[in-house]
Amino acid sequence: MDFFKIYDPIPLLGCIAFGLIDRGTNVIQVRPVTTCPLSCIFCSTDAGPKSKYRRTEYVVPLNYLIEWFKKIIAFKGEYDIEAHIDTVGDPVTYDRIVDLVSSLSQIKGVKIISMQTHGSILTERILDELSDAGLTRINMSLDALDPYLAKKISGTDWYNPDKIVDLMWHVVSNTKIDLLIAPVWVPGLNDSEIPKIINLAKHLGAGKNFPALGIQKYLVHKHGRRVKGVKPMSWRKFYDQLKRWEIEFGVKLILKPEDFGIHKRRKIPIPYKRFEVVRVEVVGPGWLRNEALAITEEHERCITLINAGTIPIGARLKARIISNKDNIFVAEPIL
């Protein structure tokens, strides 16, 4: 698998795997790296050592990431911004994760810095450093407390849920970071574990300033992993069960954007329409098989080219935009 660094003139808007994502709110998703140490059996992005579809892992140098972040919030408004570090892997694999948090915390308008992680390679020392750097909230994924089941779900023999619980204790007892526990509920697999995790969150005293739990519904994605023999439940069934657990445990489980201070905000314009033909240059290997990484002629956006496995780096060609949602562009080459 290739490892590719993202440098100027590659824009940090346009590719779902790295850079920055604006979905029209005060939250900016920050994706500095794509790697992950785990191979969770439900992973929507096919991350980790057991990946079947990935061709390339990306990393963005810190200074370049901060430069682009500042440009985006200057446009959106330098107030009440949340920087949410939520990679397609695990942010803790970024070798400058503490420096990233520290740099974000010093930017005018940044109020909240949050991060999503499974915590498998976290340490108490890193948590202390993240706290000192200004991390506001950590969303830690824990999908089972039973060791055998946790290893199975993580797809990783060395994964230890007891270590994750110890780290959670450290977060609430010794740092300024708020803790949110975010299990993925895989129906028929970890049903009995979810109530245990709810009790754990209550016992820990998680969620001092934000909700303590963010239970996630198992979803199937085109290039993600599918759990054998498991069909995703309906949203209605999912929320009905959350309501029952809310009553049983006396804890908030059905969450709204307002619970996190999320609100609509001026959205970065989308420069290219669906089905528009643009001129692009291939600048790197694609994230997934049969893809290529390209940039537009004006260097405005990154473009993921599909059906592009034989197109060499450096090639210039026309491409038709087939998806542009949230300034994330997918196109097919016109050869």
Going by C-alpha positions, the residue among 222, 217, 226, 220 that lies closest to residue 323 is: 222
CA distance 219 to 235: 10
CA distance 151 to 161: 8
pLDDT for 223 equals: 85
Residue 27 DSSP SS3: strand
DSSP string, 73-112: HHHH-SSSEEEEE--SS-GGGSTTHHHHHHHHHTSTTEEE
pLDDT for 309 equals: 83
Q: What is the mean pLDDT of the chain?
A: 96
CA distance 23 to 20: 10
Going by C-alpha positions, the residue among 118, 160, 162 that lies closest to residue 142 is: 118
Q: Are 283 and 294 in contact (CB under 8 A)?
A: yes
Is 90 exceeded by the pLDDT of residue 208?
yes
Residue percentage of the chain with pLDDT more than 70: 100
CA distance 7 to 20: 14
Split at pLDDT 50, 70, 90, the class of 129 is very high
What does the buried/exposed string (b/e) look like for 301-317 if buried means 16 or more CB atoms within 10 Å of the residue's CB? bbbbbbebeebeeebeb
Residue percentage of the chain with pLDDT more than 90: 97
pLDDT in tens, 54-104: 999 999 999 999 999 999 999 999 999 999 999 999 999 999 999 999 999
Continuous segment of H or E residues that includes residue 209: none
pLDDT in tens, 133-185: 999 999 999 999 999 999 999 999 999 999 999 999 999 999 999 999 999 99
Tokens of 181: 């526990």
Domains in the chain: ranges and CATH: 2-260 (3.20.20.70), 277-334 (2.40.50.140)
The whole-number average pLDDT for the span 5-10 is 95
